[in-house]
Amino acid sequence: MSVRHRTAATGALTLSILALQVVTASTPVITGAIQGVELCPQSICDAAIFAGDFTGQVNSKPTSGFFGAAITYDEPLPSQPFSTEITGGSWAIHTRLRTVGGKILDGGTLTNIGPPSGETEDRFTVTLTMEITKGGFGTLHFTGILDHNQFPPTIAGEITP
């Protein structure tokens, strides 16, 4: 193989690797915060059902809307300081201009961080990965707090690419 052919082959391989890296990023790029409530626990609805507000950016444009999610996890909810695995679910973010949604991938966690000082119920850190299957492609990440200190329980956190 000549030097020119090796250079062309190396360039094609480099472009292929870069293309694979671009595909793993989400399209559209979504960042923002969600704040909502748990409408129904998994013990009753076969998934923990959440709904609330979304405020953030889609492709660097400020927007707001609402979100919904149904999350499944290994029961029961863990005691402090233990975790349980998130086993799946679905999600959607609706803004004035678009709807993006998909499935929640296995492997996230619910970790009991205990009650805040003076409270009697538990709080959990929630970490999970969301695959976009409607309105785009790629993955997003969510990190937040599920708080069982009031009724209904609340969820708040950040969505990042």
Contact (Cβ atoms closer than 8 angstroms) between residue 100 and residue 135? yes
Residue 4 lies in a domain: no
What the block records as the tokens of 148 is: 């069982």
Residue 7 lies in a domain: no
Sign of the C-alpha dihedral computed for residues 61, 62, 68 and 74 taken in this order:
positive
Q: How far apart are CA 146 and CA 160, in angstroms?
A: 18
Residue 44 lies in a domain: yes
Q: CATH number, domain at 49? A: 2.40.160
Kindly report, residue by residue over 35-79, the tens digit of the pLDDT: 999 999 999 999 999 999 999 999 999 999 999 999 999 988 898
Which of 37 and 2 is assigned the larger pLDDT? 37
Q: How far apart are CA 31 and CA 35, in angstroms?
A: 14
Residue 20 lies in a domain: no
Helices (H), the chain: 3-24, 42-45
Kindly report, residue by residue over 120-149, the tens digit of the pLDDT: 778 999 999 999 999 999 999 999 999 998
Residue 17 lies in a domain: no
pLDDT at 3 over 50: no
Residue 56 lies in a domain: yes
Tell me which of 6-10, 26-30, 90-94, 110-114 is least confident.
6-10
Print the domain residue range for 86. 26-160
Q: How far apart are CA 29 and CA 7, in angstroms?
A: 34
What pLDDT was estimated at residue 10?
42
Total number of domains constituting the chain: 1
Q: What DSSP element (H or E) covers 126?
A: strand 123-134
Residue 4's alpha-carbon distances to 16, 96, 123, 132, in angstroms, are: 18, 52, 61, 40
